[in-house]
Amino acid sequence: MSDKLKLETINAIPHALANFDAMPSQGYVRLPVVKSLLGVSSATVWRMVKAGTLKTHKLTPRTTTFNVGELRAALAEKGGAQS
């Protein structure tokens, strides 16, 4: 992977996190954003998918994404469970 591509990939994650509230509910994000939003590991995200807590969407056979609106609902539920 070229240095420029690595830098763009690294910068893409904070941008998606910084603008998560402004993203449309129909938008999609990748695993690193989900991990950061939920404060969990990759393994925990995949356990949540297996348990049905989170739903994935395939853009291509090798590209798995998560719907922003569904993530917002999961975050609200997680926040409500801790109160």
CATH architecture of the domain 3-82 equals Orthogonal Bundle (1.10)
Determine the pLDDT at residue 17: 82
Quickly list DSSP for the chain: --HHHHHHHHHHHHHHHHTGGGS-TT-EE-HHHHHHHHT--HHHHHHHHHHTSS-EEEEETTEEEEEHHHHHHHHHHHHHHH-
| Whether the predicted pLDDT of 83 surpasses 50 | no
Interval 21-63: pLDDT, tens: 899 999 999 999 999 999 999 999 999 999 999 999 999 999 9
Could you tell me the pLDDT band of residue 71, with boundaries at 50, 70 and 90?
very high
| Whether the predicted pLDDT of 16 surpasses 60 | yes
Residue spans per domain, the chain: 3-82
* pLDDT, greater one: 59 or 11: 59
| Whether the predicted pLDDT of 14 surpasses 80 | no
